[in-house]
Amino acid sequence: MKPIKPKKLPCEIFVEYGILKKAGSLLSPPGGGARRFLWLCDLPDTDPAPSALLKSLAKAGQTLVRLPDEGFPDYPTDADALLITGDAEKIGSAILFADDHYPGLPYALVPTTFEAQLGFAFGEAPGLILCDPSLPVSDADNKRGLIDLVRYAVGFDRLLFDLLYTDFDRAAVIRRCLSIRFDLLDAGKTALFDCLGTSFGWAVRAALHDKAPDADGEIDFSETIAIGLAAATRYALKTGFCRQDFLSDLVGLLSYHGLPNSALVSDEELRASFLALPWEGGGKATVSLPRRLGECGLVTVSPNDLVGLLPS
């Protein structure tokens, strides 16, 4: 399968079942030979993702130097590329670390969760990205991936919205989402996705925490993003930004995948949480709102307008 090649960013993205078995040849230098990789990881060698990856790299004669998660006062300096594996959070923090300590070195990214494979944490990483949809997926990871799929569909891809009502092929939807992600990166418009449902989601999460501090683990952050996306859509309806029938379409898709669209917090609790978050200028925030199925836009939200967004 041909890789995805962004127009402006120096990278290639492969999405293929079993792709990690080919990693050794794919990660070889352009002229052939071997590389010395500095491996930033959070998985033991025996986990499914690194196991296939390590066998392929060893077979191709590639060398790995593993950087521990913590306690490394002296950073290795003889690597000619970085290998980053893990979930979305790990990839994001590893890229920041690499930019600080190894500027200019090309990356090889191997996201090991469904959520991470959808590209939110990739940034403008140079090099190769290898996504293997056959890696095991936990229920929690599947839920986090699903809400990102819904966000991609709602904001950018009407056909993807319809696909999410089917027994979709995981590789196909990952490719669709990554194509969107890198088009946004090329255009400098990643905020359209990054702010879609998340700002309201953070406010919902904060309101739930304030209401019941001991219940933090009872609702996953992805669920608060789903609630935030529904709240953002209700706000868009209230301000005339999107069509009336769009909300029922969204709620229907969230319900189909077992994702919530409401929370047991009041409008005033949501407003107070929204004000308490570190927004710019008097509590106002720039958020991404759905305009119609497959299209979204950035607008400024005032906490005073957050009324009727979270039906119990």
Which pLDDT value is given to residue 151?
A: 95
Question: CATH number, domain at 16?
Answer: 3.40.50.1970
Query: Residue 190 corresponds to which tokens in the numbers above?
Result: 């990643």
Which pLDDT value is given to residue 255?
A: 93
- pLDDT over threshold 90, residue 204: no
Between helices 267-276 and 198-211, what is the axis angle to 10°? 110
Please check whether residues 114 and 143 belong to one and the same domain. Answer: no
Answer whether 242's CB lies under 8 Å from 290's CB: yes
Query: Residue range 201-222: average pLDDT?
Result: 75
Answer whether 193's CB lies under 8 Å from 225's CB: no
Pairing of strands 295-301, 285-292: antiparallel
Which pLDDT value is given to residue 214?
A: 63
Please check whether residues 171 and 125 belong to one and the same domain. Answer: no
Q: Is 138 exposed, middle or buried (0-12, 13-18, 19+ CB in 10 A)?
A: exposed
Q: Is 312 exposed, middle or buried (0-12, 13-18, 19+ CB in 10 A)?
A: exposed
**Mean pLDDT of all residues in the chain?**
84
Instruction: Report the distance separating Cα 282 and Cα 287, nearest Å.
Output: 15
The pLDDT-based confidence of 117 (bands split at 50, 70, 90) is very high
- pLDDT over threshold 90, residue 153: yes
Answer whether 52's CB lies under 8 Å from 21's CB: yes
- pLDDT tens digit string along 258-283? 998 887 777 778 777 777 776 655 66
Q: 105, 136, 167: which is the final residue of a domain?
A: 136
Query: Residue 136 corresponds to which tokens in the numbers above?
Result: 């095991």
Q: 136, 161, 189: which is the final residue of a domain?
A: 136
Please check whether residues 98 and 227 belong to one and the same domain. Answer: no
Of residues 293, 287, 276, the one with CA closest to residue 235: 287
Please check whether residues 29 and 90 belong to one and the same domain. Answer: yes
Which residues are paired to 86 by β-bridges? 111
Domain count, the chain: 2
Q: 136, 157, 174: which is the final residue of a domain?
A: 136
What residues make up the domain containing 98? 1-136
Answer whether 75's CB lies under 8 Å from 29's CB: no
Query: Residue 109 corresponds to which tokens in the numbers above?
Result: 């990214």
Question: CATH number, domain at 270?
Answer: 1.20.1090.10
Which residues are paired to 192 by β-bridges? none
Which pLDDT value is given to residue 166?
A: 95
- pLDDT over threshold 90, residue 148: yes
Instruction: Report the distance separating Cα 55 and Cα 142, nearest Å.
Output: 27
- pLDDT over threshold 70, residue 132: yes
- pLDDT tens digit string along 63-114? 888 775 544 546 666 788 889 898 888 888 888 888 888 888 888 899 999 9
Please check whether residues 253 and 312 belong to one and the same domain. Answer: yes
Please check whether residues 73 and 197 belong to one and the same domain. Answer: no
- pLDDT tens digit string along 17-70? 999 999 998 888 877 777 888 888 767 777 777 789 989 999 989 888 877 554
Query: Residue range 205-234: average pLDDT?
Result: 79
Between residues 147 and 41, which one has the greater pLDDT?
147
